[in-house]
Structure 1
Amino acid sequence: MSAEASTQPATEPKKEDEEEEEEDEEESSIVDDDELWKDITPIPQADAERPMVQIAYHPEYRKAMNLFRGLLEQDERSERALKLTSVILQYNGAHYTVWNYRSQILKHLHQTDPEGKHIQKELGMLNKYMGDMRKSYQAWQHRALMVELLEDVSKEIAFVDKVLKADTKNYHTWTYRQSLLCRYNQPEMWAGELSAIEGLLVEDIRNNSAWNHRFFLSFDTFPLHSPDLTPEQFTKIVDREIEFTKQQILKAPNNPSAWNYLRGVLRRGSRGLNSVEEFVIPLTKTAHELDAENSWPIDLNKRSDLPVPAAVELLADIYSESQSKIKQALELYDLLAEKLDPIRKGYWQFRSQRTGPKQVTA
């Protein structure tokens, strides 16, 4: 190297984002590389001769799909096929066939890649774009297959937590989380789940997805994470969940998620509805009545709208189980129909008819 050349500034190493941008440009440009595809016969989409509605596909997408069909017919699993799927998914991120083909390509490439570089790179791409694709079940299924190939789930719960920060109620994210827990059943994965869910409920007490996951942890999966659970320990879990739910109801009495959860816990714990009658009664009264009786529950939010329809319904259900309190149950169903929940008046009338004394005809 000459002295003059040596004075030129050294080329700085490319940043990861710059490398990814170059790869995106390369993947996009491969569609127009006729030399690359000279051995592939493009297969056009089999549309009707004169379709009623002609879909205006982007020219690049149309060309990429024609090449894709040609590759698919040969079942080619190569680097160029992988790049072509990237182009297509940029236009249509919900294309199940393309996602499935991409998974099969990576599975094939992984067989000659003992260090798992292809899979790690793919997970890196998914980490970057999963926030935008979080409502695509195809993308989540693809991720699950990649994790299975890599055989490393150590970072997955943390990744799911990150996605949930953007959308705490996304069905696909929660389904993926639960599948991870059940499939891999690692103690360290279960360890922080309950506290994580409590954190989400503190942020949003009405997050029905978090309530559902709490029930999943406490009652649906203990044979996995607590296989030696004794009846006494199970009783303590039921007691814990009942008390936890009561406290959340007092914070936001008109939150249906908590009321549904309470019913589920009572049912799973083989507890009668009447076991919470004392707790429910104050929530079926007006604020004026509670003031007059000086009977406000200690932790009840004083700004709550009272009476609470869900509490009235639960108390009506409790009374309907006792023959001596049928009349009181009917009065509560009538209260729901006429004042508290008139939009479902027909339903409450139906419940009342089902509860009332049967008429005997001659």
Structure 2
Amino acid sequence: MHGVKRAKQSREAIEAKKKKEVALLADYRALEEDVIARKRAGDYSEEAFTLTTKLLKLNFEYYSVWNYRRQILERATFPNASPDKINEVLSVELTFTSAALRQHPKVYWIWNHRSWCLEHVPDGPSEEDPHGWKTANWNKELFVVEKMLDADARNFHAWNYRRVVLASLPVPRPPAEELAYTRRKIESNFSNFSAWHQRSKVFASVWETQEPGDVKLAKDAEFELVKNALFIDPNDQSGWLYHRWLVGDGADVSILSREVGVITEILEIAPDSKWCLDSLVHYKRLLLRGTPLGVDSRALRQECTEILQKLEEIDPMRRRRYQDLRREMDVEA
């Protein structure tokens, strides 16, 4: 705490602390050596499994120990177990990793182990409902990952895992529900890049099967949504990246022209926004590839050059990039 003097530790206390740390490190190394030796020897006993638990609690990022743990389950536990028993064992594993994620929500190997567990849930509980256990577990997992995203809405590990869960659900989730979810996340924080990215993934899949007219209506609505984000915070890259995805390769000149007009309005309230200026250059260069009738391409090229010169001033760390773009434009001319 600020303003509070720390009590000075005695030399004896410091030495005692060092000795304790040395002892703990020695214990860890001894445990590690034991587990690795058992792994190499092909020891798939219950004792070995217990030791992996002990070691992982000390180091959840030890991926080879996670692999060993799965080998024990596959080679010793599952072969002689009933489907009900396997489901029970995997439920315990999920509980173990749930506790780990509360402390280490961004450790990839924990998420990976959860996914493995769920993929190995057996069919059941009956012939009438063969996906019963699978459906229950994957639906619960969706709830778990939503809780994780409530705690940290921008945890990209959780968002990546969410896509795994959605793709694995025995009964697919309607796209409208996922779009509603991402919209809630975006409206609570426009800088949530992962939510924007997830939204693009859902739409990319949906639009493959929709009529052009329906796609256009949906895109127009998305342009309105992202426009609100850009006006609220012109300096945040999340909305700009989504906007660029929406525009695409610029084949639709009417959309390009409209969005250049929108960005010009944003520039009036945020004249030094790097992302605003960078996007304006990008879209104007797309317009140059198929210059609309009545548009002066020379003037458009000059506008891009002037914007790039300004970008060199306000974003000197990327000066070389902007100079390269200017040279590219000279070649294209």
Question: In the alignment, what sits opposite 2:275?
Answer: 310
Is the partner of 2:119 in helix, strand or coil?
helix
Is the partner of 1:153 in helix, strand or coil?
helix
Q: In the TM superposition, what is the alpha-carbon distance from 1:307 to its structure 2 partner?
A: 4.6
- Asked whether 1:207 is paired with 2:192, we answer yes
Q: In the TM superposition, what is the alpha-carbon distance from 1:156 to its structure 2 partner?
A: 1.1
Q: Name stretches of at least 5 consecutive residues in structure 2 with no aligned partner.
A: 1-21, 122-133, 292-296
**CA radius of gyration, larger in:** 1
Question: In the alignment, what sits opposite 1:140?
Answer: 111
Q: Following TM superposition, where does structure 1 have runs of at least 4 consecutive aligned residues deviating by more than 6 angstroms?
A: none
d(CA) in 1 for partners of 2:323, 2:153:
37
Question: In the alignment, what sits opposite 1:45?
Answer: none
> Do the aligned partners of residues 121 and 189 (structure 1) sit closer, same or farther apart at CA in structure 2, a change above 3 Å counting?
farther
Say whether the 8 Å CA contact 1:85–1:98 is kept in structure 2. Answer: yes
> Do the aligned partners of residues 356 and 185 (structure 1) sit closer, same or farther apart at CA in structure 2, a change above 3 Å counting?
farther
Question: In the alignment, what sits opposite 2:128?
Answer: none
Is the partner of 1:274 in helix, strand or coil?
helix
Say whether the 8 Å CA contact 2:106–2:157 is kept in structure 1. Answer: yes
Q: In the TM superposition, what is the alpha-carbon distance from 1:250 to its structure 2 partner?
A: 1.6
State the number of aligned residues. Answer: 282
Q: In the TM superposition, what is the alpha-carbon distance from 1:131 to its structure 2 partner?
A: 2.1
Q: In the TM superposition, what is the alpha-carbon distance from 1:264 to its structure 2 partner?
A: 0.9
- Asked whether 1:265 is paired with 2:246, we answer yes
Deviations 1:138-193 (A, max 9, x none): 11111101111223301111111111233322232222111222243633374532
Question: In the alignment, what sits opposite 1:109?
Answer: 77
Question: In the alignment, what sits opposite 2:228?
Answer: 247
Higher helix share: 2
Give the counterpart letter for 1:241 in structure 2: E
Question: In the alignment, what sits opposite 1:167?
Answer: 152
d(CA) in 2 for partners of 1:83, 1:126:
15
- Asked whether 1:337 is paired with 2:309, we answer no
With the length of structure 1 as denominator, give the TM-score of the two structures: 0.70
Say whether the 8 Å CA contact 1:336–1:342 is kept in structure 2. Answer: yes
Question: In the alignment, what sits opposite 1:23?
Answer: none
- Asked whether 1:231 is paired with 2:212, we answer yes
Say whether the 8 Å CA contact 1:137–1:172 is kept in structure 2. Answer: yes
> Do the aligned partners of residues 268 and 330 (structure 1) sit closer, same or farther apart at CA in structure 2, a change above 3 Å counting?
closer
Say whether the 8 Å CA contact 2:166–2:172 is kept in structure 1. Answer: no
> Do the aligned partners of residues 63 and 314 (structure 1) sit closer, same or farther apart at CA in structure 2, a change above 3 Å counting?
closer
With the length of structure 2 as denominator, give the TM-score of the two structures: 0.75
Q: CA RMSD in A?
A: 2.6
Say whether the 8 Å CA contact 2:60–2:100 is kept in structure 1. Answer: no
Q: Name stretches of at least 5 consecutive residues in structure 1 with no aligned partner.
A: 1-54, 288-304
> Do the aligned partners of residues 271 and 349 (structure 1) sit closer, same or farther apart at CA in structure 2, a change above 3 Å counting?
same
Question: In the alignment, what sits opposite 1:354?
Answer: 328
Give the counterpart letter for 1:347 in structure 2: R
